[in-house]
Structures are given as structure tokens and as C-alpha cells.
Amino acid sequence: MLGSVVLASAASWVVLRLLLGNSPLFRVPQYQLVHSAEFAIYAVLGVAGGLVSVAFTKLLLVMRKHFHSFPQKTLWFQPLAGGLLVGSLGWFVPQALGVGYGYIGYALNGSMALKLMALLVVLKIVAVTVSYAFRECGRHLRPLSVH
């Protein structure tokens, strides 16, 4: 099993380098530790990230359970509604869709407002959980038979 993990890791690295080149994904300015109290800020950020990940997981499980409780006759509509919801979210805040490598670079270089970063955390969580929860409902659809 370890061999397949190593092979998959090596293959993904090769594909990444072929597609994106040898330059780093993010251009990060050189940071200096000004005061040792900064470690406390990093610790708070780590705890906040952990809490956000727990909230994400719980929201995902609650949404899946909620959408599975909908009537059977609405199953065909649920993936459509999820796509419309995520699409409209992306229409108004396009930064909330996709991987966001460029936006991560802006954040790392101080070119993104803190409020936008907080908004993107919330919107990305909503977009991913809605997409996944609605997709799970759509998996139970059977193709229409043509007579």
C-alpha cells in the first residue's frame, strides 16, 4: 500500500511541474519575527483554523442529512438547485469559486482586505458544503428510460 501512495505522490508532483512549471505557486515576501508575542497570534490562528474545520465538517454532515430527508420526488431538482445556488454565489463573488491560488497569493502579500478574507472563508465553506450535499442527493437518481 505504501508503494502506491509513493507512486501517486510522485505522479502528482510530475503532473504539477508539467502544468505549472518549476516556479513556486506563491510568491511570499520574507517575514521576520518582530516580537515573540507573534507566536501567540499564530497559535490563535491555528486554533481558529481547527474550529473552522470542525464547523465545516459538522455543516457538511447536517446538510447531507437535511437534504436526504427531502421527499423522493424532489431528488431530480436538488442538484439543479445546488448548482444554481453555487453559480449565483460565484456570479456575485467570483473569488469564492475554484482553487484560488491567485487570491491566496494576494492574501500572503497583504494585497487582500481582511474583511474579504473572512467573507471568502464563509462563502467557500457554503459553496463546498452545498455542492457536496446536493451532489449526494443527485447520486440516487435513476436515468429515465425511453420506451
Task: Please tell me whether residue 49 adopts helix, strand or coil conformation.
Answer: helix
Residue-level pLDDT at 113: 87
For residue range 93-103, list pLDDT tens digits in order: 988 888 887 88
State pTM to two decimals: 0.69
Neighbours of 82 (CB within 10 A): 23
Residue-level pLDDT at 108: 83
Residue-level pLDDT at 55: 93
- The arithmetic mean of pLDDT across residues 127-137, rounded, is 79
Q: In this structure, which long-range contacts are made by residues 93-102, counting pairs with CB atoms below 8 Å and at least 24 apart in sequence?
A: 93/119, 93/120, 93/123, 95/120, 96/120, 96/123, 96/124, 96/127, 97/127, 100/124, 101/25, 101/26
Cβ-based burial of 9 (10 A; exposed 0-12, middle 13-18, buried ≥19)? exposed
